[in-house]
Structure 1
Amino acid sequence: MDRMIRVCFAGVTGWTAPPILAGIAHAADLELVSGVSRSAAGRPLTEVAGVRSDGIVHGSVAEALAATPADVLIDYTSAAAVRENVWAAVEAGVHVVVGSSGLSAEDYAELDALARARGVGVIAAGNFSVMAAVLARAAELAAEHLDHWEIIDYASAAKPDVPSGTARELAESLGGIRTPEQGVPLAELHGPAEARGADVAGSRVHSVRLPSFVVSTEVVFGGDGERLTLRHDAGPTPDPYTAGTLLAVRRVGEAVGVRRGLGSVLFDAKG
């Protein structure tokens, strides 16, 4: 996209929104044209978001896109709302950057088919932090050579969806490389099998939900007599997600269909 990119932001009153909205406002090539929030519907976007815009806040993505044309939808909402939002945008022929968790691998396969039919692009990442993308890339490299790993997913006590989008995306990415070996098959365990975590694309994933965490993702590779641990910890502010989100907004129109992870635009090896 060489011209000004018109952006609709779903989740405009959410925790992640302020630094990303500020980044859009300061970018010469991006324009915030509308927002979505049920609680703030009908109010001026400038009043709600605290950034300069002539747009207003709508109660749904479908309403926002019908009222004001947009090139890209950014979705930072919730697991309960993301599917409706993203499908509405793709049906309308609008590119989408998905920062919300809650969509499964099956959802993304369905979304990819729809996006290709509509001729639009989708970039979805469980975490738009550049450091988190580097963690995922390093884990993929390790999985090409190592046979045993498990993933630990940490988040706040109030986070209802498990695992986090970051951990799910990492497990699915590693599952595309190989399935890790298990020491003892689940059927042969003594005790509750749930203690071994959930199976996500072949990886055992353990979700910890406690106060003080934002989102931390850890993958542990084990071998004979040695261990490799890779971990990303998000701090108390959403600032780390701004640069990656805006990069995705600028690049989402370059390819039709779904691309998973910020690494899909950061690293040549990932497309």
Structure 2
Amino acid sequence: MTLKIIVSGPRGRMGKEAINMILNEENMELVACIDRINNGKMLADIDGMPDVHVPIFVDSKQCFESIKADIFLELSIPDVAFTHTVNALKNGLRAVVGTSGLTKEQIHDLKILAFEKELGCIIAPNFAIGAVLMMQFAQKAARYFPDIEIIEKHHDKKLDAPSGTAIKTLDMILETREDKEQGHPNEKETLQGARGANQSGVHIHSVRLPGLIAHQEVIFGGLGQTLTITHDSYNRQSFMTGVKFALNKVNELTELVYGMENILD
């Protein structure tokens, strides 16, 4: 079976990598793209894009109603990702969402819609298999080391902070960690923000610098010891194994799954 796929965000770094991957897979076919500009053009008309005659739409609703497809791959920005995914599910497409920044309320609404439509939907804060394992290892370690700080580092063009990976890591940690306020109970910041964001006693620090791609450290402290679990993505090809896996897997699902760890064998 050939999977007909619509990609949102084709000009972005992740979008370009995903399109190249799709074009090189025998069981996948790129049938349309959604972009905030270039409405009515073909992908081949855009500088730096593959020479393929695939139509571009600005309006996702129009795209889904006009093009026959199986799966929608969302790789654009948080401001439009939710609307695009709602439109996809309403038009009978399964969805794979790699755009971070969706709120818990939006994820909940998408979960209800996917359940009602009996359509698979995968929302993945990080497609890198190593990052998924890092989150799982951190969740296990949190049972024994409740003093935790997360440092996530990304390129300076990233729109959200903290990253979706950091938030997902924290959610998984809080499932197993006992409540504890990390640090001195009377500590004071002499420079506001020095201790980063704080949720349930876990501090998260976001670094944004050119030259970075996607990196995260989860640091655990205990009596006389520390444990650091680290993952680094040095290029966006590191995400493509997970994207390909999710595109194939979502076709088997009839509900929303949040996090790649829930679909890996």
Give the TM-score, by structure 2 length: 0.90
Change (3 A) 1:203 1:110: farther
Task: Return the offset for 1:180.
Answer: 5.0
Mapping of 1:85-100 within 5 angstroms? Answer: 85-100=84-99
Match of 2:13 in 1: 15
1:141 and 2:140 correspond: yes
Q: Measure how far apart 1:46 and its partner are.
A: 3.7
SS of alignment partner, residue 249 of structure 1:
helix
Q: In the alignment, which residue of structure 1 is the partner of 2:120?
A: 121
Matches within 5 A, 1:169-180: 169-179=168-178
| Aligned residue number for residue 233 of structure 1 | 232
Structure 1 residues 243-262: aligned runs within 5 Å: 243-262=241-260
Q: What amino acid is aligned across from residue 158 of structure 1 in structure 2?
A: K
Deviations 1:82-131 (A, max 9, x none): 11111211222211111111112232122111111111111111211111
Give 1:76 deviation, angstroms.
0.7
Does structure 1 residue 212 correspond to structure 2 residue 211? yes
Query: 1:62, 1:89 within 8 Å by CA — same for their partners in 2?
Result: yes
What's the CA shift string for 1:224-245, capped at 9, x where partnerless?
110011111221x311111110
Q: Does 1:155 align with 2:143?
A: no
Shift of 1:202: 5.9
Cα distance in 2 between the residues matched to 1:202 and 1:94: 40
Amino acid at match of 1:12: P
Q: Secondary structure at the match of 1:16?
A: helix
Gaps of 5+ in 2: none
Distance 1:104 1:61, change over 3 A: same
Aligned length, in residue pairs:
262
Structure 1 CA distance, aligned partners of 2:135 and 2:54? Answer: 37
Deviation of the 1:201 alpha carbon: 6.6
* Greater than 6 Å deviation, 4+ residue runs: none
Offset of residue 171 of structure 1: 1.2
CA-to-aligned-CA distance 1:32-61 (integer Å, 9 cap, x gap): 111011222211134444054x43010032
- Post-superposition shift, 1:194? 3.6
Query: Which secondary structure state, in structure 2, belongs to the residue aligned with residue 32 of structure 1?
Result: strand
Return the letter of the residue paired with 1:31.
Answer: E
Counterpart-to-counterpart distance in 1, 2:182 and 2:22: 49
Separation in 2, partners of 1:177, 1:24: 37
Fraction of identical pairs, as percent:
27
Structure 1 residues 169 and 212: alpha-carbon distance in aligned structure 2, compared to 1, 3 A threshold: same
Aligned-partner residue type, residue 227 of structure 2: L
| 3-state SS, counterpart of residue 9 of structure 1 | strand
Residue 50 of structure 2 corresponds to 50
Q: Residue 124 and residue 152 in structure 1: after superposition, are their counterparts in 2 closer, same or farther (change >3 A)?
A: same
Structure 2 counterpart of 1:39: 37
Closer, same or farther in 2 for the Cα pair 1:201/1:102, shift >3 Å?
Answer: farther
Change beyond 3 A, Cα 1:149–1:20:
same
Q: Is the 8 A contact 1:25 1:51 kept in 2?
A: no
Which of 240, 243, 253 is the equivalent residue of 1:242? 240
Matched, 1:222 2:221: yes
> Quick check: 2:181–2:202 contact (8 Å CA) kept in 1?
no
